């Protein structure tokens, strides 16, 4: 096993999990995740960070995928502690291993930055949602300030290999709109105490049209 392979498998997922579990990030998760209802699918569920915030009484079933096998045990343990039926698998967002129109809610937090093909992932999210279903998103991406965005462009090639393929420059709300969702913003802003090049967040509800 080469150094990069070892780093990507053993170190990087834990560093990302730690960074995504900081206090201000958890506050934003706590405002968003309880809105999940019905049959729920979580993209990038590894580590089980979000499970403490779900309202189990409003959820019929829970499923999720993550590409990092080493994080799935933690996700399954968190689901077991929650006491709900869970179907957690290794997989990628470009090919979600569940049928279409199965879920009422899709949850996506700090995940779209690192997928290979965000347009394909958003298409898959829309596919598995029932008509009228909701995608709850909390993501970091391209800053609206030109001087910050300029530095994001410069830093991203160095940042990506250290952060598991994480992109700094991807759009958020506009990407959901481009994929055919109706977006209801809940908030946006720089994460306090985080470097601004990596700290722009947007969160809200993206609805799949239909009844």
Count other Cβ atoms within 10 Å, centred on residue 180. 12
Q: What is the pLDDT of residue 156?
A: 96
Condensed to tens digits (0 to 9), the pLDDT of residues 90-123 reads 999 999 999 999 999 999 999 999 999 999 999 9
Q: What is the pLDDT of residue 176?
A: 98
All structural domains of the chain, each given as residue ranges with its CATH number in brackets, are 3-207 (3.40.50.150)
SS (H, E, C) 133-161: EEEEEEEECCCCCHHHHHHHHHHHHHHHH
Q: What is the pLDDT of residue 99?
A: 97
- Beta carbons within 8 Å of 72's beta carbon, 6+ residues apart: 46, 66, 88, 89, 90
Give the chain's end-to-end CA distance (angstroms, integer). 50
Q: What is the pLDDT of residue 68?
A: 86
Q: What is the pLDDT of residue 4?
A: 53
Q: What is the pLDDT of residue 157?
A: 96
Q: What is the pLDDT of residue 2?
A: 62
Q: What is the pLDDT of residue 112?
A: 96
User: Using CA atoms, how far apart are residues 122 and 28, in angstroms rounded to an integer?
Assistant: 21
Determine contact, residues 93/121, Cβ cutoff 8 Å: yes
Q: What is the pLDDT of residue 133?
A: 98
User: Using CA atoms, how far apart are residues 106 and 126, in angstroms rounded to an integer?
Assistant: 9
Burial environment of residue 27 by CB neighbours within 10 A (0 to 12, 13 to 18, 19 or more): exposed
* Nearest partner of 139 among 100, 169, 111, judged by Cα: 111
| Structure-block tokens of residue 29 | 């998760």
pLDDT < 50 regions, the chain? 3, 6-7, 11
């Amino acid at each position: 096993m080469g150094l990069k392979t070892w780093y990507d498998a053993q170190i990087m997922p834990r560093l990302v999990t730690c960074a995504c579990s900081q206090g201000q990030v958890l506050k934003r998760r706590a405002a968003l995740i309880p809105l999940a209802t019905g049959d729920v699918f979580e993209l990038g569920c590894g580590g089980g960070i979000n499970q403490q915030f779900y309202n189990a009484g409003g959820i019929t079933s829970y499923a999720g995928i993550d590409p990092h096998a080493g994080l799935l045990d933690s996700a399954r343990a968190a689901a077991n502690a929650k006491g709900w039926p869970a179907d957690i698998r290794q997989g990628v967002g470009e090919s979600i291993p569940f049928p279409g129109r199965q879920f009422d809610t899709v949850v996506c937090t700090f995940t779209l930055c690192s997928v290979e093909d965000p347009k394909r992932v958003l298409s898959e999210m829309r596919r598995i949602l029932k008509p009228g279903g909701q995608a709850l998103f909390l993501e970091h991406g391209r800053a609206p300030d030109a001087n910050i965005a300029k530095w994001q462009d410069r830093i991203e090639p160095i940042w990506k290999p250290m952060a598991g393929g994480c992109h700094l420059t991807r759009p958020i709300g506009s990407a959901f709109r481009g994929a055919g969702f109706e977006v209801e913003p809940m908030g946006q802003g720089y994460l306090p105490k985080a470097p601004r090049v990596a700290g722009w967040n947007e969160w809200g509800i993206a609805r799949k049209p239909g009844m």
